[in-house]
Amino acid sequence: MKFVCSDGRDYELPEISKHFDSISLPCHPDNIQNPTICRSSIERGLSSCLSDPDKVHLHCAAKILLKPIYVEELQWPVLSMNLVAERVASIVTAIALENSDSNSNPDSNHLIFHFVAQVELECFFANIGSREFEKIDAIVKLKRFRVSNQEEEEELMGSRCSICLQDLISTAPGIHLIRLPNCNHVFHQKCILEWLKKSDFCPLCRDLCLQNLVDKFNHLNV
C-alpha cells in the first residue's frame, strides 16, 4: 500500500522496524498534528526506554534523538527529537487535509499517521542518525595503550591530560591512554571518550579528529 502526501513524498508499507516500538505517539490524531504535543509524547517514550534495562539495545537510538544537532539553515543547535516531531506533525497535517473532503475512516487515518511517524524515524536514522552511529563506531575503534617502554615514558613524562589536568602517566599505574589520529595528542581513555561523545574536535588543538577518523574507516570499507 502507498500513500502520497501533498509534499510529493511517497510512503509504502514496508515491514516496520522493531527498533522504534518504544517511541510512543499521542493517541488522538489531532495531537499528532501538534509538534509540541508530539514531541512531549516522544520524549516520554524515550525516557521510559532509557530507564528500562531490558531495552538497552535501544538506548543508543534514544540518546541520539535526545541530542542537539546543528542545523545549518537555522544557524542553531536543535534537538533531533524536535526535528522528527515537527516533520511528523507537518506530514500528518498534510494527510489530514487531503482526507478531509473524503469519508475516510478516522481509525484508518490514525494508523496511517502512526505509520508515517515510524517512517520519519527510520528516515532520520538513515540520514542524520547514521552519522552518529558512524561516530560511535569510530570512537570504539580508537586504539588505547599503556606506557610500556622508555621512549613512550620519556615522551609523556610531565605531560598532563588537558581534560582532567592530571598527569598522564603518574595518575594511576597501568592506566589506559588514547592517542588521537592526525594531531597525535594523548589523553586519558576515560576523559577523551567522554569528550568525544559531545564533540568531534580534539580538545587541545581543535583538529576535526573524529570526522577524519570516520572518513578513514568509510574509505577502508568501500
Element (H, E) at 191: helix 189-196
CA neighbor of 67 nearest in space, from 129, 122, 10: 129
Nearest to 27 by CA among 41, 16, 17: 41
The pLDDT value recorded for residue 61 is 64
Is the distance from CB of 38 to CB of 85 less than 8 angstroms? Answer: yes
Is pTM beyond 0.75? Reply is no
Which set of grid coordinates corresponds to residue 183? 594531531
Q: What is the pLDDT of residue 1?
A: 32
Question: What is the per-residue burial (b if ≥16 Cβ within 10 Å, else e) of 205-222?
Answer: eebebbebbbeeeeeeee
DSSP at 181: T
When mean pLDDT is compared over 5-9, 31-35, 57-61, 208-212, the highest value belongs to 31-35
3-state SS class at 186: strand
Return the SS3 of 177.
strand
Spell out the domains of the chain, with CATH numbers in brackets. 2-129 (no CATH), 142-221 (3.30.40.10)
Contact 186, 157 (CB under 8 A): no
Segment (H or E) for 212? helix 209-221
What pLDDT is stored for residue 104 in this prediction?
55
pLDDT single digits (tens) 168-195? 876 556 678 888 877 888 999 888 888 8
